[in-house]
Amino acid sequence: MVQRLTLRTASTAAALLLTATAAMAQVPEAAEAAEAVEAAVSTALPADGQFVMNTLLFLMGGFLVMWMAAGFAMLEAGMVRSKNVSMQCLKNICLYSIAGLAYWAIGYNLMYNGVDGGFFGVPGPVDIPDPATDSGEYAVASDWFFQMVFCATTASIVSGTIAERMKLGSFLVFVVILTGILYPITGAWQWGEGWLYEMGFSDFAGSTLVHSVGGWAALTGALIVGARKGKYSEDGRVNALPGSSMPLATLGTFILWLGWFGFNGGSQLAMGTIEDAASVAKIFMNTNLAAAGGVMAAVILCQIIYKKVDLTIALNGALAGLVSITAEPLAPSAGLSIAIGAVGGAIVVFAVPLLDKLKIDDVVGAIPVHLLAGIWGTMIVPLSNGDASYGVQLVGIVSIGAFTVVASGIVWLIIKAVIGLRVSDEEETLGLDKVEVGVEAYPEFSTGAGRI
Amino acid sequence: MVQRLTLRTASTAAALLLTATAAMAQVPEAAEAAEAVEAAVSTALPADGQFVMNTLLFLMGGFLVMWMAAGFAMLEAGMVRSKNVSMQCLKNICLYSIAGLAYWAIGYNLMYNGVDGGFFGVPGPVDIPDPATDSGEYAVASDWFFQMVFCATTASIVSGTIAERMKLGSFLVFVVILTGILYPITGAWQWGEGWLYEMGFSDFAGSTLVHSVGGWAALTGALIVGARKGKYSEDGRVNALPGSSMPLATLGTFILWLGWFGFNGGSQLAMGTIEDAASVAKIFMNTNLAAAGGVMAAVILCQIIYKKVDLTIALNGALAGLVSITAEPLAPSAGLSIAIGAVGGAIVVFAVPLLDKLKIDDVVGAIPVHLLAGIWGTMIVPLSNGDASYGVQLVGIVSIGAFTVVASGIVWLIIKAVIGLRVSDEEETLGLDKVEVGVEAYPEFSTGAGRI
Amino acid sequence: MVQRLTLRTASTAAALLLTATAAMAQVPEAAEAAEAVEAAVSTALPADGQFVMNTLLFLMGGFLVMWMAAGFAMLEAGMVRSKNVSMQCLKNICLYSIAGLAYWAIGYNLMYNGVDGGFFGVPGPVDIPDPATDSGEYAVASDWFFQMVFCATTASIVSGTIAERMKLGSFLVFVVILTGILYPITGAWQWGEGWLYEMGFSDFAGSTLVHSVGGWAALTGALIVGARKGKYSEDGRVNALPGSSMPLATLGTFILWLGWFGFNGGSQLAMGTIEDAASVAKIFMNTNLAAAGGVMAAVILCQIIYKKVDLTIALNGALAGLVSITAEPLAPSAGLSIAIGAVGGAIVVFAVPLLDKLKIDDVVGAIPVHLLAGIWGTMIVPLSNGDASYGVQLVGIVSIGAFTVVASGIVWLIIKAVIGLRVSDEEETLGLDKVEVGVEAYPEFSTGAGRI
């Protein structure tokens, strides 16, 4: 209310002033000036305010996505057996740390520094301007922070799939390469304004650039490291190796859902105008509805097919809904967002048993959730976003997939050859917590070491 | 510092300019203009900036309240026995999803769309304007998001009370009705500017509209579904059925406490002026102090009465303090806020055994916390807020209570008649996780199935 | 883009207007006015907008630091044995409540109200202005909230060290004194602009004022209450008493990491200008990098020295990195931030066994993390901040340490004399949950009571 009055008064003042001036002498420039002043009485936030709001969006979005690192840690800690829980926690805090260091030292500039339609930028440590002289649309450090947590998310996706059998050191070496080099390269193609961006590929917040990249790297790793001992019997039976704590897995999923508001909302990249703020709001709404659609689709399908509702499928349904909407959370209507998320949830229900049939042992279900729903979300963008085309979307998915599979495959194989990927059978039976961490997750309760 | 100088310069400039103009010719309009310009040199945030800040308040408040869904999930997962933990997690992620879908499809418009002093609005899916043409005081989607998470909170309250014996499907059907129809109707009476609003009822952030509504629906459900097997022995003994994880219950409480800053602070509905921002700040402070008062009152009373301090009473003391201040977190002084919260904490200490005496089996204590403290908080509003009257507060509490009890009672009974509310005795003994979810919460440790 | 155009138009309008005016009559004041108007066309956020942004920074920073209370609760719940988990949760929710009450009733004014180069201010309950008349740079209530959560953090640090053997009531009495009197006094010396501030001491967000103060109080408490039964055998052996839940400890660490963005970022105290927003962004980046450096230093040293990577050392490495950068998170370059954090991580690796050698039983490792890394972080400030000097930093560390050790020592000893600090041997063996709380943390699984 107040500001409207104020601005009306300002207009009035300008008009009165110019009328008076014009009345004094019939000078033609006065009329021109009157129009210009009228036009300049703007309700927009001043430039510094926009810098502040954009920076705030990155920082807020960034801390929400940083929190997703905890979400992955809890989801994975809940989905592995108790004998590997400490290791899973350790891998997660290490991968988040490494992502920060590698993305500072190499990754950010490799992704953004002068890509200019090409394949990658000029790597090197990020240079942060003195805050007193920062300029542009937002603080450079806030952009680094926001982009870094996306990079870390990619690594988090991998850690879940290859859990319970991979050595700590081998995994961490892979994380260095993934976050310092592989993720930034395909990131450069699109968000760094490289060749794919110029072709018109559309991936708002990273269904492909983050989730599928993580998913492809995870799939490649799962194929190379092989399934957990006892997961697939020789007689073809699939053995459930149930996770140690469903409430932790649920907590992790809620954390991820919360963090996703930052993930998708922050990807609007600006919040200083009505349009940008309203866009962030619409993204929040669509993101939430897609997740809800994913949950309910997964739950209803589970009930129909299995007559029970597997909690882990419901949780992965939420995540698949979130991944699905990530490629385009702004353009779709609310109803379409629900449908896009619901298909994501359905993908989980059908893909989890399929992977088991293929004997691909994905401990947390990251491949259906991040890779398959990521492909789905990316492919459906043109339905709501007229600037995207199905053909180019396919080019982006295939090219990024091919690069990530080949490049991460080479890295996994080199690590395997040099230091080995997998703990010994005996160590796997004992559990990684005893062997590599030396700290049991639940020393007073655990009976997990006796299980396969 | 900088802005003060700048504005002083602007005033100076305007004054000089007008002085010069006036000096040139003794035109009376110039003097008038001088005053107008002087008045227009405002320190207020421009209109678009206010839109941005209000939208941001809704989004930030909204994600904090969304996080409360995780808080309820953890609180409840910690307070049920291990054989029902997966089910409790599943119910919570489903109810949050359903709330989003139902409040989008029906609820929001039923609550806000043209209530105009009446009993409810015109339902139908929410229409989100194109961000490029959004206008008003905030983004419509941000308001939807903020209101939706309140609606979801109401359902979360119910799930805790009726835990460990109600079928998944039956509960979820109730949630559809509660979040799509029942909550929005009583919400329309007040926040939709219906008849109760016109009468002068005062409920800032929902002690009655959210917490008591959830509490009444929970109470009705508890009465209709009955107590858990073994809770009340035939000889009149009350058996403790202790929760499976106190740290998870504690985590849930801390999450709720955190989320409550969004719940109460966001209910200021605007943050673009000094007064609004200072109001949000005062609300944060009062909210925190009321919770602290609730904890300490509960702890001290526990120590005096029982010579031990039951952690669950302390946790519920915090929540009762929070519910108590929710009806009016802005007007009270800090000292009064502490007192209001402390009474809430005391209510928990005395009401929990009372409910057991009445054989009302409330697994998490939601009825004392959300219903009774909600009534208390609503009734005490006139003490600090001169615009409220005790009589009208009572009318609001009674009318909303009566409606919710009758309407939710009918819904519970219809569900009971059609598909049944309760699992069989045998299934209850086995635990809902085995029977309906198929996934044990703690497969490696759980011995809970052997308990009553 | 938009705002630039707008502002260009405004300049043009002003110029045109004044040119016209000047053209009409050769009045010298018009030219002067032209310059003044040109200067006044500012891109800065108006004063009210700055108030709003600063208040928002305090509220957002505040809720993130409030969330650290949950982080400490989870970290400690995970690090104690299952028989003491409920007590640890209870102590944490109580201490956060007490901090709020004591810092409102006494502490805030003792710390800030007219210290004026002296040793402490005039205590008394905080007076919050009516939001309609609030003024200054930010809302008073938002500042109180932000400072209060810092105060609570200090108490959280103590609770971890003295866990598993101290009585609830004795600990809570200490918390009242610590948060109401001790922390505010040393706080007044620096942040209240007391004698140390005037001398030029530099502690941006509290490596010394918060973390070391908590650490000194914890150390004094640990020395006076003594080690847990069975921790140090008479033959000199150190017995590991492993924590009950590593995922909860990990969750707690991630929560603390997240909260630290509010802790350090909010300590910029303003966010309404480009420089302030860019400073907050740089602080986020440096804070994250220091934590990452702390993790990796701890992990690599652990692997080299012990051939295993102790998860608890990795977690404490993160926290030590965070504490280390807290004294100066703005001035260092990214590379230096990593190095500062890495030294913090190394301190943990070497100090944990050292404390055991000294038979100081610190259950969660708070002394290395908060006290030693806090000293390190404070001492290294002059390397990047030219306004600080090594000599004055040392004066601050020593004076605050001496005061806190002596004052808290006296308080601990008085409590010991009057009501006793420690539960009986038998009660310690049974566990505090059974003896003082009456609620077991994991009633269905726990076997912890049988352990030492």
- Tens digit of each residue's pLDDT (9 = 90 or more) over C130-163: 999 999 999 999 999 999 999 999 999 999 999 9
Q: How far is CA C244 from CA A162, C250, C441, C449, in A?
A: 26, 12, 10, 12
Chains that touch B (3 or more CB pairs under 8 A): A, C
Q: What's the confidence (pLDDT) of residue A2?
A: 30
Q: Are residues B159 and B32 in the same domain?
A: no
Structure confidence at residue B170 (pLDDT):
98
Mean pLDDT of the A138-150 span:
98
Same domain, C156 and C238: yes
User: Is residue A13 very low, low, confident or very high in pLDDT (cuts 50, 70, 90)?
Assistant: very low
Q: At what angle do helices B246-266 and B274-306 cross, to 10 degrees?
A: 150
Task: Specify whether A255 is located in the same domain as A363.
Answer: yes
Closest of B58, B147, B133, B89 to residue B440, by C-alpha:
B89
Is residue C136 one of the residues assigned to a domain?
Answer: yes
Regarding whether B206 and B120 lie in a shared domain, the answer is yes
Helix axes A47-79, C2-24, angle to 10 degrees: 170
Classified as helix, coil or strand, B232 is strand
Neighbours of A383 (CB within 10 A): 15
CA distance B102 to A287: 16
Per-residue pLDDT band for A43 (boundaries 50, 70, 90) equals confident
Give C204's contacts in chain A (Cβ within 8 Å): none
The answer as to whether C104 is a domain residue is yes
Q: What ranges in C307-389 are assigned the alpha helix state H?
A: 311-326, 334-357, 366, 373-379, 381-384
C-alpha B147/C-alpha B142 separation (Å) is 9
- For residues C35 and C168, membership in a common domain is answered with no
Residue B173 forms part of a structural domain: yes
**pLDDT confidence band for A253 (50 / 70 / 90):** very high
pLDDT score of A230 more than 70 = yes
**pLDDT beyond 70 at A38:** no
pLDDT confidence bin for B8, thresholds 50/70/90: very low
Q: Under 8 Å CB-to-CB from C274, ≥6 apart: which residues?
A: A48, A51, A52, A131, A134, A135, A139
Q: What is the pLDDT of residues B410-452, one digit of tens each?
A: 999 999 999 999 999 999 999 999 999 999 999 998 654 434 4
pTM for the whole structure: 0.94
The Cα C95–Cα C110 span in angstroms is 19
pLDDT (mean) for B317-336: 98
Taking the C-alpha atoms of residue B23 and residue B10, their distance in angstroms, rounded to an integer, is 19
A444 and C81 within 8 Å at the Cβ level: the answer is yes
- Across the range A403-427, mean pLDDT stands at 98
Q: What is the mean pLDDT of chain C?
A: 92
**C273 and chain B in contact, CB less than 8 A:** yes
CB atoms B254 and C93 under 8 Å: yes
Helix (H, G, I), strand (E, B) or coil at A285: helix
pLDDT tens-digit series, residues C27-83: 455 555 555 554 455 789 999 999 999 999 999 999 999 999 999 999 999 999 999
Q: Which of these ranges, B24-38, B53-67, B229-243, has the smallest mean pLDDT?
A: B24-38
The DSSP code sequence of C277-294 is HHHHHHHHHHHHHHHHHH
Residue A45 contacts C, CB cutoff 8 Å: yes
Return the higher-pLDDT residue of A38 and A124.
A124
Nearest CB partner across the interface for B254, out of C27, C70, C441? C70
Per-residue confidence (pLDDT) for residue C445, from 0 to 100: 82
Which tens digit of pLDDT belongs to each residue from A75-97? 999 999 999 999 999 999 999 99
B48 in a structural domain: no
User: Same structural domain for residues B137 and B35?
Assistant: no
Decide if C439 contacts B312 (C-beta within 8 A). yes
Give the pLDDT of residue C5.
30
Output the pLDDT for position A18.
Answer: 55
The CATH number that applies at residue A317 is 1.10.3430.10
Interchain proximity B42–A254, CB inside 8 Å: no
CB A435 within 8 A of CB A423: yes
pLDDT of residue B43: 87
| DSSP track, A90-111 | HHHHHHHHHHHHHIIIIIHHHH
Looking at the structure, tell me whether residues B148 and B19 fall in a common domain: no
Q: What are phi and psi of A106, to 5 degrees?
A: -135, -50
Give C440's contacts in chain B (Cβ within 8 Å): 242, 246
Q: What is the largest CA-CA distance in chain A?
A: 101
Q: Which two tokens stand for residue A231?
A: 């997961």
Contact A48 C45 (CB under 8 A): yes
Task: Give the pLDDT of residue B5.
Answer: 30
Looking at residue C18, what is its pLDDT?
56
Tell me the nearest-neighbour CA distance from B256 into chain A, angstroms: 13
Residue B54 has pLDDT above 60, yes or no: yes
Partner C contacted by A142 (CB < 8 A): yes
- In angstroms, rounded to a whole number, what is the distance separating the alpha carbons of residues C416 and B26? 85
Mean pLDDT, residues A410-426? 98
Q: Give the pLDDT of residue A1.
A: 26
Label residues C1-27 b or e (16+ Cβ within 10 Å = b).
eebeebbebbebbbbbbbbbbbebeeb
Lowest mean pLDDT across A14-28, A176-190, B281-295, C423-437:
A14-28
B124 within 8 A of B106, measured Cβ to Cβ = yes
Within the 231-250 window of chain B, which residues sit less than 8 Å (CB to CB) from chain C?
242-247, 249-250
- Taking CB atoms and an 8 Å limit, are B77 and A451 in contact across chains? no
Count of structural domains within chain B: 2
Q: Is residue A372 part of a domain?
A: yes
Calculate mean pLDDT across residues B269-286: 98
Does residue B116 have a pLDDT over 50? Answer: yes
ipTM of the complex: 0.93
Q: Is residue A319 situated within a structural domain?
A: yes
Q: Are residues B117 and B163 in the same domain?
A: yes
pLDDT in the model for residue A8: 36
How many CA within 13 A on the CB side of residue A349? 26
State the pLDDT at residue C4: 31
Whether residue B23 is contained in a domain is answered as yes
User: Is there a domain that residue A46 lies in?
Assistant: no
At residue C188, the pLDDT reads 98
Check C3 against A272: CB less than 8 A apart. Answer: yes
Both C139 and C182 in a single domain? yes
CA distances C381 to A12, C327, C385, Å, are 54, 7, 6
Question: How many other C-beta atoms lie within 10 A of the C-beta of residue C132?
Answer: 10
> Would you state the pLDDT for residue C41?
58
Q: In this predicted structure, what is the pLDDT of residue B37?
A: 52
Q: How far apart are CA A150 and CA A260, in angstroms?
A: 11
The range of the structural domain enclosing residue B65 comes to 53-451
Q: What are the pLDDT digits (tens) for C252-262? A: 999 999 999 99
Identify the pLDDT of residue A218: 98
Question: Strand, coil or helix: what is B166?
Answer: strand
Q: Is-contact B189 B203, C-beta < 8 A?
A: no
At B29, is the pLDDT very low, low, confident or very high (cuts 50, 70, 90)? low
Q: Give the residues across from A238 on adjacent strands.
A: A232
Which tokens belong to A150? 């996306």
Q: Which residues of A touch B30 (CB under 8 A)?
A: 17, 20-21
Q: How many CB pairs under 8 A join B and C?
A: 262
pLDDT, average across residues C109-113 = 98
Q: For residue C20, what are the CA distances in angstroms to A11, B34, B307? A: 19, 17, 85
Same domain, B36 and B166: no
Question: What type of residue is A305?
Answer: I
pLDDT digits 0-9 by tens, C343-365 = 999 999 999 999 999 999 999 99
Q: What's the pLDDT at A445?
A: 82
| Percent helix, strand and coil across chain A, each to the nearest 5 | 75, 0, 25
Q: Running DSSP on this structure, what letter comes out for residue A210?
A: I
> How many CA atoms lie less than 13 Å away from C311 in the CB half-sphere?
36
C269 in the same domain as C227: yes
pLDDT of residue C43: 87
For residue B275, give the chain A residue with the closest CA: A2
Cβ distance C44 to A46 less than 8 Å, yes or no, reads yes
User: Going by C-beta distance under 8 Å and a sequence separation of 6 or more, which residues neighbour residue C328?
Assistant: C202, C204, C377, C380, C381, C384, C385, C388
**C-alpha–C-alpha distance, residues C164 and C428, integer Å:** 7
- How is residue A170 written in tokens? 């081998």
Q: Work out the pLDDT band at B236, boundaries 50, 70, 90.
A: confident
Residue B32 clears pLDDT 80, i.e. is over it: no
- Among A14, A45, A308, beta carbon nearest to B46: A45
pLDDT of residue C447: 52
Tell me: do B123 and B266 sit in the same domain.
Answer: yes
